Amino acid sequence: MSAPPTPPLFTIPPPASAHQDPSVWPLRVVYLAGVLSGAAILLVAFGPSAAEVPTLTGSAVIGFGLFGAVCGWLLSRISDFGTVAPSARWLALCWGAFAAIGYPLLANRAIRDHFAARGDGESWSLLTPFTEEPAKLLGIFVVLLLAATRPRSALDGLVVGSFVGLGFEVVENIARSINNAITSYPPGQRDNLGSLTVDLLHEVVRGSWSGHIVITGIAGFGVGYAMTAGDRSGVRRWAVAVSLVALAVAGHLLWNSHRFGAFYVLGQVGLFVFFLWLIRVGRRREAEIYLPYLGYVTPSVIEAGIRRSRTRRRVTSELAAAIGTGDAQRAHRCIQRLVRDGSGQIQPRRVKPM
């Protein structure tokens, strides 16, 4: 029997360098100030109500927390190469859960009171996209700049944006469940799980595929594209970014409107389909970035590693991390493991220059 083929040694081109610049400390200050002060705002705003319905509050935290865990697991699998580190996902999640809700909450309450004084208690919700989306957008920028390695494709922005939206959605749903119980039941009967069950079903059936996760992911793709598409002109990069952010705001506005009949449903479905299409485009771009480094490995080896084995998936993620940090020896070891665990076939591949 002939010995299994061994991939040759290779040199990785200059990577997207890790953040070692001490000048990022202002971003850390912005992040910590936003998250901590946002959490304080939420505690002051909802603490008394949560204390009035402790059973419902605890159940809401568990229920929506489990929902968030499932969504987080799915979002972490968007990238075939696992390029967004777990630390960056947690940063995004916390920003969405606290900073992106706390400050817009103050603005939204002022807007609601203004419209209520005019006798219009409903229209204020149409302005919330213009307070909430900028807060989430700022978080996407801050997290991408604070990540252990700089983003290399627009898909990194989509993943970060989706995690920001996930944090926002989970905390918003917990707060909404508390408010619904307070407003729908008389004192003494509020701490029950009837309204919470309805809220959970609504989120699973509808909100999970048409809410903040999707629209903030779309905006994140635009931010990631603007930061990583170096082969495109600045005008094109920022035009794409602005267009996708505007689409996210429009999707949020549509979500809050409930005034367009069938177009409301079609619009939500269209946004979700567009979100899935962006994932497909982002994965293709990831392949263009990483596979040229692995020009002697057939795509079937990589795909087999992604599909068939959790261990192989970890190796693929480790490979992306090695490329991202310029560790050629580590990347070479990953390739050897992928080839050994995959089809065992190594064939030269011609890859178009980027």
Q: What is the residue extent of each domain of the chain? A: 23-286, 295-354
Q: How far apart (Å, rounded) are the C-alpha atoms in residues 12 and 110?
A: 54
| Whether pLDDT at 1 is above 60 | no
Supply the pLDDT for residue 160.
97
Residue 187, pLDDT > 60, answer: yes
Average pLDDT over residues 211-236: 93
Q: Is the pLDDT of residue 343 over 50?
A: no
| pLDDT at 324 (0 to 100) | 61
**DSSP string for 136-163:** HHHHHHHHHHHSSB---SHHHHHHHHHH
CA distance 182 to 60: 14
Tell me the H-state helices in the chain: 25-52, 54-76, 86-94, 100-117, 129-146, 154-184, 194-202, 208-210, 212-228, 234-257, 262-290, 299-308, 310-325, 328-341
Local structure of residue 297 (DSSP, 8 states): B
Residue 185, by phi and psi: left (phi above 0), alpha (psi -120 to 50) or beta?
Answer: beta
pLDDT of 340 reads: 63
Q: Return the pLDDT at 241.
A: 96
Residue 256's alpha-carbon distances to 53, 142, 146, 275, 309, in angstroms, are: 27, 27, 32, 19, 42
pLDDT at 138 over 70: yes
At 36 the pLDDT is: 97
CA distance 198 to 54: 18
What confidence category does residue 328 fall into, taking pLDDT thresholds of 50, 70 and 90? low
Among 178, 170, 175, CA closest to 56: 178
Least confident of 18-22, 139-143, 268-272, 315-319: 18-22
pLDDT of the residue at 97: 96
Query: What is the distance between the terminal CA atoms of the chain, rounded to a whole angstrom?
Result: 39
Give tens-digit pLDDT for 100-125: 999 999 999 999 988 888 887 677 88
For 140-149, 168-177, 192-201, which range has the lowest pLDDT when averaged over its residues? 192-201
In one-letter notation, the amino acid at residue 351 is: V
Indicate the pLDDT class of residue 34, thresholds 50, 70 and 90.
Answer: very high
Average pLDDT, the chain: 80
pLDDT at 312: 66
* Mean pLDDT computed over 202-208: 74
Between 245 and 228, whose confidence is greater?
A: 245
Name the amino acid, one letter, at 58: G
Residue 82: CB atoms within 10 A of its CB come to 20
Q: pLDDT digits over 284-323, tens only?
A: 888 777 666 555 444 455 555 545 556 666 777 777 777 6
The whole-model pTM stands at 0.81
Looking at residue 310, what is its pLDDT? Answer: 65
